[in-house]
Amino acid sequence: MRGRGSLLHSAPPLRASGGVRAAIAMVSYMILARVSPVTHSVGNCVKRVVVIVTSVLFFRTPVSPINSLGTAVALAGVFLYSQLKRLKPKPKTG
């Protein structure tokens, strides 16, 4: 059983984690103010795929075929969305 000292040792990493999460939320709101909600959602999807792939490579986590398929589908969806968005002309304002 650990004493109270272990709680004090875990406080700085918890504070750092909370600070990073707060910064991520602020950046997310700043990005959302500049892009459409759909683009923001696609960016979030890409971020998740990058985090998953990075963690798999860094921690050498075994990946099942269904996990690989899901990642591939997510990447294909993002690619298709970006291609379609590029083809669609922006409406003229003014």
How many domains are contained in the chain?
Answer: 2
Q: Is residue 94 part of a domain?
A: no
Q: Are residues 4 and 45 in the same domain?
A: no
Residue 28 burial by CB count (10 A; 0-12/13-18/19+): exposed, middle or buried? middle
Q: Is residue 82 part of a domain?
A: yes
Q: Are residues 29 and 43 in the same domain?
A: no
Q: Are residues 46 and 83 in the same domain?
A: yes
Tell me the pLDDT tens digit for each residue of 11-66: 888 889 899 999 989 998 998 899 888 788 878 878 887 888 888 899 998 889 99
Q: Are residues 24 and 60 in the same domain?
A: no
The verdict on pTM exceeding 0.85 is no
Domain that holds residue 62: 36-88
Q: Are residues 55 and 78 in the same domain?
A: yes
Give residue 30's pLDDT: 92
- Between the alpha carbon of residue 27 and those of residues 39, 82, 93, 94, the distances in Å are 15, 22, 28, 30
Residue 51 burial by CB count (10 A; 0-12/13-18/19+): exposed, middle or buried? exposed
Q: Is residue 23 part of a domain?
A: yes
Q: Are residues 45 and 80 in the same domain?
A: yes
- Between the alpha carbon of residue 81 and those of residues 12, 16, 40, 46, 76, the distances in Å are 41, 35, 12, 12, 9
